[in-house]
Amino acid sequence: MIEKYKRRAVFSMLIVLTVILSAVLWYQDRDKKRNTKAAELKQGTAYFSNATARPGTPVEVVAANYPMFTQLVYEWRVDGELIEHDGSSYTPVEADLEKMITVTVRADGYEEQMLSVYCSKLPVLYIDTDDGTNVESKDEYKSAYYVLQGAGEGPYETVTGGAWVKGRGNYSWTLPKTPYKLKLDDEADLLGMGENKHWVLIPNMPDPSLMRNTLSCWISEQMGLVSMKTKWVALVVNGSCMGNYQLCQQIRPGADRVPAADWEELSGQVAETVYSEGGVPGEKEELKAYLEQNLSWMSEGVFEFKGKNYTVPDQLMPSALTGGFVLEIDISFDRTTQFFSHVGLPIMVCFPEYAKSNQELMDYIVDYVQAVEDAAYDEEGYGTFRGKSVHYSELVDMDSLVNYWLVSELFYNVDFDMKSIFLYKYIEGKLFLGPIWDMDLTCGIGDEREDSYTLWATWNSGTKEQTIMWYRPLIKNRDFVRQAFEAYHRYRPLFQEMVRDGGMIDQYYGYLCESGQADAKRWREEADDEYFERAVYQELKPWLINRLIWMDEQFASEETLAQSLNAY
């Protein structure tokens, strides 16, 4: 009987061991069949199961390809400080906002793994340069990899890919917190702003409220001006948080950008078509770059490349060379194609960059801009374009002309009429003002006089360019003054929406308060715990309230407006 029970015990033990072995084999097989991300990981690797970190939502670590029963130890830190917490998940609290959460995963016999994720209400953009060094040039791109996590911005999923990054800007590039240009390897829709390769990251260093650019973009879009879409993000470069940035569409022709013909895109289409026919030496990208920089083919229909002549297909020839321009009036005067107007305004052709390589294209835009300027300076508002007498309202879209001026005056842009004045033109049709750009030196910043809200930006005379810009003579035109008066009262409720209790400024502050305060502490030596709140509620908002009170007085009637502007 005893032997019988012994045999049963041995048999039962064999069954148990078989079950355990089967379980081990099943788990191993399951690990092999995990999702692609896990399958590609080397043994002993860990990763976060969720891409974002927000208060109240657990951040979980997945340990991949460790053998069963491996004892794992998790060490969690917030901004480098060890916290009393063990386990494979950690739930951030409000105090963790705008801080880096790091976990170190250890196991005997395995190399430790360190994972980091930035905790923010905002989307987080991670950029890691291939060589691991920071961006120090605005002339040369660095290759990089980016990850954009859309936390707090609706349903937007994580977007990743290769990219090129460099510095940008003029004055802003000299500041400690620098702007960047981001060129993606492939077009991507970032945070619902439309698919494109070209983006900019604006630091808003002069603006402690971080709101002036976004407010002016919002206002101008509501008023019908072309406006670049923008979203605030937390930027992390090579593992270091750089603070609050605006991820913004770059000003360039495109479906979701400036509505002008894209000659660079057309150059790419020509290159693609010609290259596909075979027999073209070199790389396709080389041909595309050649066509972008040598635009004579748009007039002639033929081009020479590496000693061989090619014909441009008829269906790809432009219908006319009377548009597709994005211009900028700016004293930096640092573009590939640029010219001075007769009174001395510096006009830069942003797109097409190499307009000067096509004389027909260049002659047209120089003549057109000069006709606008002549009409602006004429007492009756007339200039001559290609032998025809034309009124400035026939050359420039009046709504954009008036509304651009109104936004610039509302915010009291101290750079108005000398920097970042953008214009664009369709193939057919008029010249348009916009988009509004570079509005961080506004609303009392850049002019520290206590009564700056009682001044007209049009009469700023900091530079020669401000004294000769077209708006100086235009405000002496009764028709312009009348349309400005009507536009102000049409949009006055919209202006109030910015400053009312619960309005745009209050909403922005509720969203940005932790990010704005953390950014101030990171970049401003004088920042205390109430710095960001003061920047919004003791500086920006009161200034705009006072500005509207003053403007209401100036726009009481057409006569009071004309008198205030010293128009006529």
pLDDT per position as a tens digit, 207-226: 999 999 999 999 999 999 99
Kind and range of the H or E run holding 202: strand 195-202
Q: Is the pLDDT of residue 511 over 70?
A: yes
Q: Which residues pair with 566 in a beta bridge?
A: none
Percent of the chain topping pLDDT 70 = 91
Q: What pLDDT is recorded for position 41?
A: 40
What's the rounded Cα separation, in Å, for the pair 545 and 541?
6
Q: How confident is the model at residue 414 (pLDDT cuts 50, 70, 90)?
A: very high
Sign of the dihedral through C-alpha 245, 247, 252, 256: negative
Residue 149, helix vs strand vs coil: strand
Strand, coil or helix: what is 226? Answer: coil
**Look-up of token digits 């708006």:** 471
pLDDT band at 517 (very low <50, low <70, confident <90, very high): very high
3-state secondary structure of 75: strand
**pLDDT above 80: residue 492:** yes
What pLDDT band is residue 23 in, cutting at 50, 70 and 90?
A: very low
The DSSP 8-state label assigned to residue 316 in this structure reads G
pLDDT band at 283 (very low <50, low <70, confident <90, very high): confident
Query: How many other C-beta atoms can be found within 10 angstroms of the C-beta atom of residue 178?
Result: 19
pLDDT value of residue 109: 87
Residue with tokens 């002339």, as numbered in its chain: 139
> Is residue 39's pLDDT more than 50?
no
- The pLDDT-based confidence of 151 (bands split at 50, 70, 90) is low
Asked whether the beta carbons of 56 and 81 are under 8 A apart, the reply is no
How are beta strands 230-237 and 124-129 bridged, if at all?
parallel
Residue with more model confidence, 50 or 552:
552
What residue has token string 């502490």?
521
pLDDT at position 318 is 96
Question: Whole-angstrom Cα distance, residue 220 to residue 209?
Answer: 19
Banded pLDDT at 551 (limits 50, 70, 90): very high
- 34 pLDDT above the threshold of 90: no
Instruction: Calculate mean pLDDT across residues 349-365.
Output: 98
Q: What is the pLDDT of residue 155?
A: 55
Assess whether pLDDT exceeds 90 at residue 10. no
Among 514, 417, 404, 438, which Cα is nearest to 202's? 438
| CA–CA gap between residue 507 and residue 503 (Å, rounded) | 6
Q: Which long-range contacts (CB under 8 A, 24 or more apart) does 489-496 make?
A: 489/555, 491/222, 491/223, 491/403, 491/406, 492/552, 494/219, 494/222, 494/223, 495/219, 495/410, 495/548, 496/548
pLDDT band at 153 (very low <50, low <70, confident <90, very high): low
**Beta 59-64 vs 89-90: how paired, if at all?**
antiparallel
Closest by CA to 452, choosing from 373, 369, 539, 350, is 539
The model carries a pTM of 0.89
Q: How far apart are CA 229 and CA 226, in angstroms?
A: 10
Tens-place pLDDT, residues 168-184: 998 899 999 999 999 99
Q: Indicate if the pLDDT at residue 199 is higher than 50.
A: yes
pLDDT, residue 154, reads 55
Helix (H) or strand (E) holding 298: helix 297-300
Would you tell me how many other CB atoms lie within 10 Å of the CB of residue 137? 10
- Which residue in this structure is represented by tokens 């270091």? 240
The backbone torsions φ and ψ at residue 416, rounded to the nearest 5 degrees and listed phi first, read -55, 135
Rg (CA), the chain: 30
Residue 549 has pLDDT above 50, yes or no: yes
Report the distance separating Cα 189 and Cα 199, nearest Å: 11
User: CA dihedral in degrees (538, 540, 542, 543; nearest 10)?
Assistant: 130
Sign of the torsion formed by the C-alpha atoms of 376, 382, 388 and 393: positive
Q: What is the pLDDT of residue 1?
A: 44
Average pLDDT, the chain: 90
**Which positions ≥6 away from 490 have C-beta within 8 Å?**
none
Residues 305-338 have pLDDT tens digits of: 999 999 999 999 999 999 999 999 999 999 999 9
The one-character DSSP state at 158 is P
Find where tokens 């006072």 sit.
546
Which phi and psi (to 5°) does residue 187 adopt?
-60, 140
The confidence score (pLDDT) of residue 68 equals 85
Give the C-alpha separation, 26 to 23, whole Å: 5
Reduce the DSSP state of residue 165 to 3 states and report it: strand
Q: Are 282 and 275 in contact (CB under 8 A)?
A: no
Q: How far apart are CA 139 and CA 228, in angstroms?
A: 23
pLDDT at 128 over 80: yes
Mean pLDDT within 346-366? 98
Q: Tens of pLDDT along 61-110?
A: 999 888 888 899 999 999 999 998 889 999 999 999 999 999 999 998 88
- Alpha-helical segments (H) within 33-96: 36-39
Q: Which tens digit of pLDDT belongs to each residue from 419-468?
A: 999 999 999 899 999 999 999 999 999 998 889 999 999 998 788 899 99
pLDDT at 52: 87
* Long-range contacts of residues 81-90, Cβ cutoff 8 Å, at least 24 apart: 88/60, 88/61, 88/62, 88/63, 89/58, 89/59, 89/60, 89/61, 90/58, 90/59
Predicted confidence at residue 449, as pLDDT, reads 87
Residue corresponding to tokens 């009564």: 451
Asked if omega into 352 is within 30° of 0 (cis), the reply is: yes
Q: Tell me the three-class secondary structure of 384-417, residue by residue.
A: EECCEEEEHHHHECHHHHHHHHHHHHHCCCCCCC
Provide mean pLDDT across the span 546-550. 98
> How distant, in Å, are the alpha carbons of 35, 42, 89 from that of 39?
6, 8, 22
Task: List Cα–Cα distances, 199 to 108, 231, 519, 565, in angstroms.
Answer: 45, 11, 21, 38
**pLDDT tens digits for 231-269?**
999 999 999 999 999 999 999 999 899 999 999 999 999
